[in-house]
Amino acid sequence: MNRNLDKIRNNKDYDIGILGLEDFKRKQKLYNLLKSQYEAELSELTHYMELLGSMQNNLIRTYFQTLLTDGLKHVQYISAMMSNIEGGSSSRALTSKGIAKSISEEKESRDLLYSCIEMTDDPESKSVLRSIIVDEDHHIKILEHISELIESSSSKQ
């Protein structure tokens, strides 16, 4: 029996199996920590956006815009790391169906904004809403172009 234990102890495959399990556990723990951080970043972004909406001081607004920009970068970086741990591609969600859903959501947002314009009497609010609509239209065009790129890329494969 001791000989069998010695064989197991000297077997490199056995050592690799143990190391593989430990590596898996470590990656799983890292993934869970990253996921928690990802959720915290999203929560912070939401909070900053709420504060930004009512902020009158331009300097403080600029600081919150910086926090938002940095937070978005953090979400992207963490998402890519999580995707690497999962063994997937960070562009995995880039499907025709996913892009079509995004286009639909942008169009819904734009239509809601048009409704808001009809309901407000404040000229400044109308102007801001029109500006957002221009952005939404731009987002739709970008997403439509991405959809075309995905289609042409998948047809070449």
Same structural domain for residues 11 and 57?
yes
Structural domain count of the chain: 2
How far is Cα of residue 50 from the mean position of the Cα atoms in its chain? Answer: 19
Task: Report pLDDT digits (tens) over 40-86.
Answer: 999 999 999 999 888 888 899 899 999 999 999 998 988 888 887 77
Same structural domain for residues 5 and 47?
yes
Same structural domain for residues 80 and 104?
no
- Using an 8 Å Cβ cutoff, are 116 and 130 in contact? no
Same structural domain for residues 83 and 99?
no
Task: Report pLDDT digits (tens) over 111-136.
Answer: 999 999 999 999 999 999 999 999 99
Of 77, 92, 107, which residue constitutes the final position of a domain?
92
Would the pLDDT of 96 be above 80? no
Would the pLDDT of 89 be above 60? no
Same structural domain for residues 118 and 154?
yes
pLDDT at 94: 63
For 134, counting Cβ atoms within 10 Å of its Cβ (0-12 exposed, 13-18 middle, 19+ buried), the class is exposed
> Rg of the chain over CA atoms, in angstroms?
25
Whole-prediction pTM: 0.53
